[in-house]
Amino acid sequence: MKNAPKSPHYELVRDSAYFDEGWYATQVDPDLLAKKRVDFVQHFLNVGGRNGLAPSRGFVSAAYLASNIDVARAGHNPLVHFLTEGEATGRKAIGEDDLAGAGFPDMLRREERRAVAQLVASPLFDVKFFRKTYSDLRKSRLHPALYYVRHGLDEQLHPSAAFDAEQYLDDNPDAAERGLAPLLHYVRFGEAAGVLVMRLSDEKAEAVAVARAERRPATTPQAPARASERAPETAPVFVDVALAGPLFGGTVAAATAVRQAPRRGPDVTPEEARALELIRSSPLFDAVWYLMEHREAARLAMDPALHYLRHGAPDGLKPSIYFDPAFYLESGEGGVENPLLHYLTVGRSQGRKPRERLAIDEPLAAV
């Protein structure tokens, strides 16, 4: 069998100061290297570039693509574009030492770079919409693409007006099981499977923007010095409920509920304070979904995490679509008072699952 013809840009890349074969080789899948001899230049041109592999320390493909989304959308190899037109038109090469200043601090993992490169290639990721809707992300100093990769799942972020992330997670719970932000799951699995995506309603988009503009960091309850003392519950009630505008009859009412939320809730014991910290920090607890699904909790005007701890878990209520207490209890020993807390403190380390998995096999990585 004859070898496949080389790319017309093969020599351009091979001879470039921005291609270091030794550096590039460390990023290629070891299983692939064990099976056959790899032409690293051709691999970069065919596969690696679009998946965020860096050809050298001086050129980080994922950062270049995220900073030049037109290049990513056109399907160009990042280094080829830079060498043939980007440099001449004033576009900058972003190296390892430039990452923090360009909005990509600590973007060292290969998987994270791959995710950023895949994300910005999708027309369903809209940087302008993302910056406008999530105005508070400026404080993070992260590029929107990297912020979405890191926080898109746990914060249920909408990547554009054309993609309702909450609805997508409702329809495709395996995205959370895989630990993927909704749009990344769609790019890797959903699109090929013909999964439909829903547009974000104008009302919901406005509610999200209002909620983020009003966003204040929640205060983590601290255990007191003596067990006999009581720890105040200081996390604001309804801190995220503006996302659930219909619960309050509209966007304005939702925003008002956030602003007027009492700054001090019911007293909690030190043990409850520690449990609340675990619950709130887990993506398996969705405060907005919980209030929408269990309206009685909302009518009580009670912190959803505290309601779940005191009432929801004992009554068998689900904390989110990502955790099924009935399934969890059936898969292990009985006598568990709070299934979610048990999973977070014991079950996860035992390899137990939070809910029944869907029968979808993840395809092998291409790189």
Cα 145 from Cα 118, distance rounded (Å): 10
Secondary structure (DSSP) of 341-365: HHIIIIIGGGT--SSPPPS-PPPPP
| pLDDT of 258 strictly over 50 | no
Closest CA to 309 of 354, 257, 355, 268: 268
Specify whether the CB–CB gap between 150 and 156 falls below 8 A. no
| pLDDT of 129 strictly over 90 | yes
| pLDDT of 264 strictly over 50 | no
Global pTM? Answer: 0.59
The answer to whether the Cα torsion of 36, 39, 44, 46 is positive or negative is negative
Specify whether the CB–CB gap between 142 and 103 falls below 8 A. yes
Give the least confident one: 68-82, 114-128, 247-261.
Answer: 247-261
| pLDDT of 149 strictly over 90 | yes
Q: Torsion over CA of 97, 100, 101 and 103, rounded to 10 degrees?
A: 130
Q: Could you tell me which residue, 300 or 188, shows the higher pLDDT? A: 188
Report CA-CA distances (Å) from 298 to 25, 63, 287. Answer: 54, 43, 10
Q: Could you tell me which residue, 239 or 61, shows the higher pLDDT? A: 61
Q: Could you tell me which residue, 100 or 206, shows the higher pLDDT? A: 100
Q: What is the DSSP letter of 45?
A: I
Cα 332 from Cα 354, distance rounded (Å): 11
What's the maximum distance between 2 C-alpha atoms anywhere in the chain?
Answer: 79
Q: Torsion over CA of 290, 293, 297 and 299, rounded to 10 degrees?
A: 130
For the chain, what's the residue count? 367
Cα 288 from Cα 294, distance rounded (Å): 10
Both structure tokens of 123 = 């027309």
Interval 201-249: pLDDT, tens = 888 888 888 878 766 433 333 333 333 333 333 333 344 434 444 444 4
The pLDDT value recorded for residue 73 is 96
Considering 59-73, 275-289, 337-351, the range whose residues carry the highest mean pLDDT is: 59-73
The pLDDT value recorded for residue 244 is 44
Domain ranges of the chain: 1-107, 122-200, 202-222+229-350
- The DSSP element (H or E) to which 127 belongs, if any, is helix 127-133
